[in-house]
């Protein structure tokens, strides 16, 4: 896998951000779900996005991934403005995402789920299948080999031929990660990768994400499991009521009184 | 060979032709619904577009009606596919962003428009009288009914086989895999870089071209078409074939076409034998009921149809 075998060497100076949100807002009628949020993430960074339910984290993900357009602000991917581009174009630019509730293609095999993540596959166009079958077959063989490699990396290779609908919740989370990795992204947005996952499988997810980050992959993850945030992330961004409340190391933000207040409310006078 | 056997064989060949033509339309619907999840309930309209296109291009001139170019049959059939595809592309570009139930209403509306044009634009379609004397590929053999029927069957079977193989290649490919992904979860497919709008339009267009092909085959095997050939019941039958045979499975589609057509013919013979001539028109409704019962039984006991779809899509993964 490119991300694991071709690491980006760390640099002393602050690296250029791969993904950047600049004063991004998203309104739904009178409701401001995301309110002038700015954040950035560089290669090899794992950043945690935390906050109580309704803080606007998933809406921010949708805006960053191209599923919703921002009402205001800019989204920069590798320095290029992309806030008006649809989700499919963002993936081509190097940004992948997973969903809070995994969305496997249940009737397809696990292997073919992963192969769907392949970018620029000539067989995914109509005409090469009729007029360039040799080229399609070669691309398909290469995609299959790479998909199996990713499945092995994530410990799913034994399930390659099973229909995706038989996977457990945790395995579905891994499958989503595998699909995104197939596209060789530079940055991934992971929406609660550990939610509902068995502790053993969660440890696998943590280890694999750490390996990928060491290889240069930028990871922005929403997670309520604060132990995972502390273990994986160098930096955490806390959102509340659509705004960024504070940014810092996981230990620092968890010690911040404003964060506790956002989660459990103001203590009674 | 005795006269009775000759008659039965000729009937079987004609029956086979009918099965295969409906099968081709159903293959088109399978690409749209079975593979991509596009709810087209205007199948008859797209079949009619193909039938009238080929008939107008290949038949002789008639006073007061457009067409009559007497072009070769092959050109007529190719033009029918192009017309079916183009109309589908135009309709698809306008409607494919609709949710499935609204798409169903829109495609039904298209079929109604085509029917109204066929009935009323007499200068183009011959109106309710339709178009007669459409060239048939083995007209010279018409004096010998068995030979004529067998030759026609062989030709239609070859065309159907070609359409089947072409579709098998397309659906058992990475392209087909993307269609299946979009059918299952458009949002997840978009997150993997697949443009649902583009793929849905492609599938709708290719499916429409196949329906146009079915229309052309019908025109050139019957030698006559009228709006009655493209009634809403045709759409119902093609859908029944798809559900009974197995949505998403091209072999299932052809099996479904055989079973539903066999039931249709058998109930036709049964009602002819059981009811007096003056009751025949009313008794014909029982044939629709019989298909409805078969459809219901399939949904109850084999909801994936007789041949369900395979988990693996790409033929490159068979090893």
In the predicted model, is pLDDT for residue B319 greater than 60?
Answer: no
Pairing mode of beta strands A31-42, A17-28:
antiparallel
Among A85-99, B49-63, B79-93, B251-265, where is mean pLDDT lowest? A85-99
DSSP string of B247-275, one letter each residue: TT-HHHHHHHHHHHHHHHHHHHHHHHHHS
Both tokens of B133, joined, read 């004397």
Q: Give pLDDT tens digits for B270-286.
A: 998 888 888 888 888 89
Decide if the complex's ipTM is over 0.85.
no
Looking at CA atoms only, how far is residue A125 from chain B in angstroms? 6
Looking at CA atoms only, how far is residue A41 from chain B in angstroms? 20
B173–A144 CB contact, under 8 Å? no
Cβ atoms of B223 and B131 closer than 8 Å? no
Looking at CA atoms only, how far is residue A188 from chain B in angstroms? 11
Give the count of alpha carbons within 13 A of B141, CB side only: 13
Q: Which residue of A has its CA nearest to B197?
A: A88
- Which residues of A have a CB under 8 Å from any CB of B? 65, 67, 86-89, 91-92, 96-97, 99, 103-109, 111-112, 115-119, 121, 123-126, 129-130, 133, 136-137, 139-141, 143-144, 161, 163, 179-180, 183
Cβ atoms of B60 and B133 closer than 8 Å? yes
Cα–Cα distance measured from residue A182 to residue B146, given in angstroms and rounded to the nearest whole number: 58
Instruction: Number of A to B CB contacts under 8 A, please give it.
Output: 113
Residues whose CB is less than 8 angstroms from the CB of residue A165 and which lie 6 or more positions away in sequence, other chains included: A104, A106, A107
Cα–Cα distance measured from residue A193 to residue B143, given in angstroms and rounded to the nearest whole number: 74
Query: In a 10 Å sphere around its CB, with 0-12 CB exposed, 13-18 middle and 19+ buried, how is residue B304 labelled?
Result: middle
A123–B313 CB contact, under 8 Å? no
The answer for B105, left when phi > 0, alpha when psi is -120 to 50, beta otherwise, is alpha
Cα–Cα distance measured from residue A194 to residue B55, given in angstroms and rounded to the nearest whole number: 63
For residues B190 and A77, the model is more confident at A77
pLDDT less than 50: residues of chain A = 1-12
In the predicted model, is pLDDT for residue B179 greater than 90?
Answer: yes
Looking at CA atoms only, how far is residue A141 from chain B in angstroms? 7
- Nearest by Cα to B235 from B89, B29, B7: B29
Region B190-217: mean pLDDT is 93
In the predicted model, is pLDDT for residue B196 greater than 50?
Answer: yes
Cα–Cα distance measured from residue A162 to residue A171, given in angstroms and rounded to the nearest whole number: 12
- Nearest by Cα to B239 from B37, B1, B15, B41: B41
Matching residue, tokens 């989204």? A75
Residues of chain A with C-beta less than 8 angstroms from the C-beta of B189: 105, 116
Q: What is the pLDDT of residue B311?
A: 64
- Residue B193: which of A91, A111, A141 has the nearest Cβ? A91
Q: What is the pLDDT of residue A267?
A: 62
Q: What is the pLDDT of residue A7?
A: 35
Cα–Cα distance measured from residue B48 to residue B68, given in angstroms and rounded to the nearest whole number: 17
Residues of chain B with C-beta less than 8 angstroms from the C-beta of A85: none
Compute CA B159 distance to the chain's CA centroid, rounded to the nearest angstrom: 13
- Nearest by Cα to B312 from B211, B172, B208, B179: B172
Indicate the length of chain A as a whole number. 269
CA angle B195, B198, B203 (to 5 degrees): 120
- Nearest by Cα to B194 from A147, A184, A87: A87
In the predicted model, is pLDDT for residue B158 greater than 90?
Answer: yes
Cα–Cα distance measured from residue B198 to residue B204, given in angstroms and rounded to the nearest whole number: 10
Region B229-238: mean pLDDT is 90
Q: What is the pLDDT of residue B109?
A: 92
For residues A120 and B209, the model is more confident at B209
Looking at CA atoms only, how far is residue B70 from chain A in angstroms? 31
Cα–Cα distance measured from residue B232 to residue B234, given in angstroms and rounded to the nearest whole number: 5
- Nearest by Cα to A192 from A235, A164, A241, A229: A229
Selected for mutation to probe chain A from B166, B188, B206, B249 (highest A CB count within 10 Å) is B188
Q: What is the pLDDT of residue B174?
A: 94
Q: Which residue of B has its CA nearest to A123?
A: B174
Q: What is the pLDDT of residue B19?
A: 95
Cβ atoms of B222 and B283 closer than 8 Å? no
Looking at every residue in chain B, the average pLDDT score rounds to 90
Cβ atoms of B278 and B271 closer than 8 Å? no
Q: According to DSSP H, which parts of B32-99 are helical?
A: 43-58, 73-95
Q: What is the pLDDT of residue B94?
A: 87
Looking at CA atoms only, how far is residue A258 from chain B in angstroms? 34
pTM listed for this prediction? 0.85
Cα–Cα distance measured from residue B267 to residue B57, given in angstroms and rounded to the nearest whole number: 36
Q: According to DSSP H, which parts of B96-173 are helical?
A: 100-120, 122-125, 145-171
Give the count of alpha carbons within 13 A of B216, CB side only: 31
- Residue A112: which of B191, B202, B314 has the nearest Cβ? B314
- Nearest by Cα to B268 from B248, B242, B286, B244: B286
A115–B181 CB contact, under 8 Å? no
- Residue B191: which of A87, A108, A140 has the nearest Cβ? A87
């Amino acid at each position: 896998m490119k991300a694991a075998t071709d690491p980006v060497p760390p640099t002393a100076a602050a690296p250029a951000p791969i993904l950047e949100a600049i004063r991004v807002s998203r309104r739904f009628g009178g409701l401001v779900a995301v309110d002038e949020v700015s954040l950035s993430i560089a290669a090899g960074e794992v950043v945690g996005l935390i906050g109580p339910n309704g803080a606007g984290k998933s809406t921010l993900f949708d805006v960053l991934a191209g599923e919703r357009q921002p009402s205001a602000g800019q989204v920069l991917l590798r320095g290029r403005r992309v806030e008006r581009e649809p989700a499919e174009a963002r993936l081509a630019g190097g940004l992948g995402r997973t969903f809070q509730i995994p969305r496997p293609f249940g009737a397809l095999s696990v292997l073919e789920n992963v192969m769907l993540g392949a970018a620029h596959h000539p067989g995914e166009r109509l005409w090469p299948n009729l007029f360039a079958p040799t080229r399609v077959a070669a691309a398909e063989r290469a995609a299959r080999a790479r998909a199996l490699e990713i499945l092995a990396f994530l410990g799913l290779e034994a399930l390659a031929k099973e229909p995706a609908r038989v996977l457990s919740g945790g395995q579905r989370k891994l499958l989503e990660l595998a699909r995104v990795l197939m596209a060789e992204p530079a940055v991934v947005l992971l929406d609660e990768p550990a939610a509902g996952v068995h502790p053993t499988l969660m440890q696998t997810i943590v280890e694999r994400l750490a390996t990928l980050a060491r290889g240069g992959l930028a990871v922005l993850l929403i997670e309520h499991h604060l132990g995972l945030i502390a273990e994986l992330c160098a930096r955490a961004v806390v959102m509340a009521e659509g705004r960024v409340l504070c940014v810092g190391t996981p230990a620092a933000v968890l010690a911040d009184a404003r964060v506790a207040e956002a989660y459990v409310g103001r203590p009674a006078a | 060979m005795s006269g009775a056997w000759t008659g039965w064989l000729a009937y079987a060949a004609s029956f086979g032709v009918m099965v295969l033509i409906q099968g081709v339309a159903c293959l088109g619907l399978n690409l749209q619904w079975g593979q991509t999840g596009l709810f087209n309930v205007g199948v008859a309209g797209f079949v009619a577009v193909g039938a009238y296109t080929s008939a107008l291009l290949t038949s002789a001139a008639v006073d007061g009606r457009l067409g009559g170019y007497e072009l070769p049959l092959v050109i007529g059939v190719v033009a029918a596919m192009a017309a079916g595809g183009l109309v589908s592309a135009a309709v698809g570009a306008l409607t494919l962003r609709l949710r499935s139930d609204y798409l169903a209403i829109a495609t039904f509306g298209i079929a109604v428009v085509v029917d109204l044009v066929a009935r009323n634009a007499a200068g183009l379609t011959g109106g309710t009288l339709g178009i007669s004397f459409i060239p048939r590929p083995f007209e010279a053999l018409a004096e010998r009914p068995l030979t004529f029927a067998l030759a026609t069957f062989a030709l239609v079977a070859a065309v159907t086989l070609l359409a089947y193989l072409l579709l098998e290649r397309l659906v058992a490919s990475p392209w087909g895999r993307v269609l299946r992904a979009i059918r299952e979860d458009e949002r997840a497919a978009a997150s993997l870089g697949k443009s649902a709008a583009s793929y849905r339009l492609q599938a709708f267009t290719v499916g429409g071209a196949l329906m146009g092909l079915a229309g052309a085959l019908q025109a050139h095997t019957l030698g006559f078409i009228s709006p009655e050939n493209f009634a809403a019941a045709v759409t119902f039958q093609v859908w029944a074939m798809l559900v009974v045979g197995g949505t998403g499975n091209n072999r299932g589609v052809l099996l479904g076409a055989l079973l539903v057509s066999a039931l249709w013919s058998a109930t036709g013979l049964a009602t002819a034998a059981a009811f007096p001539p003056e009751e025949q028109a009313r008794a014909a409704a029982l044939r629709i009921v019989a298909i409805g019962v078969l459809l219901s039984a399939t949904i109850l006991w084999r909801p994936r149809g007789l041949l369900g779809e395979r988990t693996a899509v790409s033929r490159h993964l068979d090893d």
